[in-house]
Amino acid sequence: MKRIAIAVSMSLGLTPTTAFAWDWSLRTSESQTIELNSNQFLRSSPAGSVGSYSTITGTAEALTPTSKLVLDGDGSYRKYWGPGAEGTSSEFLSYGAKAHYEQFGKNRFDKEFVDAIWTQQNTSLALLNDLGVVLPVAGSIDRFTARGGIDRSLNARDSINLFATSTRTYYEPSSGGTAFTDTLARGSWRHGVGPTTGLSLSSEAELLAYDNTFGTEVSIFRNQVGVDTALSSLLSFRGNIGAAYLVTDRGVSTSAIGGVTSSSPLGSTTLDWIGDAILTYKFMKTATLSLSASQSVGPSIVGSLVKRDIVNASVNYLINSRENLTISASGNRQITGTTTDYASVSATYGYNPVRDVSLQFSYRYQHRFASTGTRIFDPLSGTPTVSGTGAADSHSVLFVATHNFLVLPHGN
């Protein structure tokens, strides 16, 4: 037994004494979703489809009194049937792995962490999830992210946060799209002006470097001021507002849809406001209302620049220890050269029949308004940013079954 313990500790790169200090746990999750949709891809000529989504995850967690190590892995498979899925990819695969290490300080505000994340998914699925674009394209998008951060409490009222991340996005095959690197650094400071209220300042710089003909680079500088407060034991508010300044160096002048690009790179600058706010009100002992709004400017998963305006309202009602109900409504404006508005309402009923098993039944209505603008391809990445310019809507019913299984609990 001792030899086995020593071998395991060596395989983890740890000494035997350190290995015994870790408190390991292991849990898995399996989820199966069935969806019936009248117009899955919001086409101008609607047709019904059936979707099946399978997901499996695994998480290993190791704890010490001053640190935590988490290893995650997941895989999912999607399949569509029916006339609504004709003319597009009907099968999607995605995978992911993440390693997270965190070390704690003297209180909950003092910690530092590092992450390494790798994901791979079908290019079609990535475009569908992020931009709502439907294309029967082959290949996959791979992303590798390295990031880290530090939280420190300077005194009883002041705390700072430093964060840095860099993501490399590339395609398999390489002809599937324009590879790019997204690097961001952010610093923020929070000052408590009372026992329930705080003010904050944040500043961040983001650099997008594209592997296109011109070697285009886009710099985004964001500066915001924020406030968070608990107005009462039932009502809380958090909000941030500021500006985003975009500088494009060696940019592409025309859309890929025209077939011709400029023979010389161009530069440009853009200034816009950004912000987010959320109001949470617990109007009953078992019911909570949340109202949120945001405006953001940044890259999509394929590197195209997107401005998003989102408003959302939701009510979560805890019926009893096993049942809950959520009703929500949202509006979303997506600007990528072409402006497209979306609206949706949904209702979800959740039920836990036994421990570690959850069931969800959902209905969702979604509407896409007619788009304005003529550019449907992003000039930087060469990818489409809209799937249709006309109005469309869909009705969907989803059933989700999830099983969580604790293989090894902490303390063993």
* The pLDDT value given to residue 379: 66
Q: What is the pLDDT of residue 264?
A: 65
Residue 255 pLDDT? 42
In this predicted structure, what is the pLDDT of residue 309? 96
Fold type of domain 2-408: Porin (2.40.160)
Ranges in the chain, pLDDT < 70: 1-20, 108, 136, 253-264, 374-389
pTM above 0.75? Answer: yes
The reported pLDDT for the residue numbered 384 is 67
Residue 9: the pLDDT is 41
Q: How far apart are CA 178 and CA 169, in angstroms?
A: 9
Instruction: Give the pLDDT score at 411.
Output: 81
What is the structure's pLDDT at 398? 97
The confidence score (pLDDT) of residue 84 equals: 87
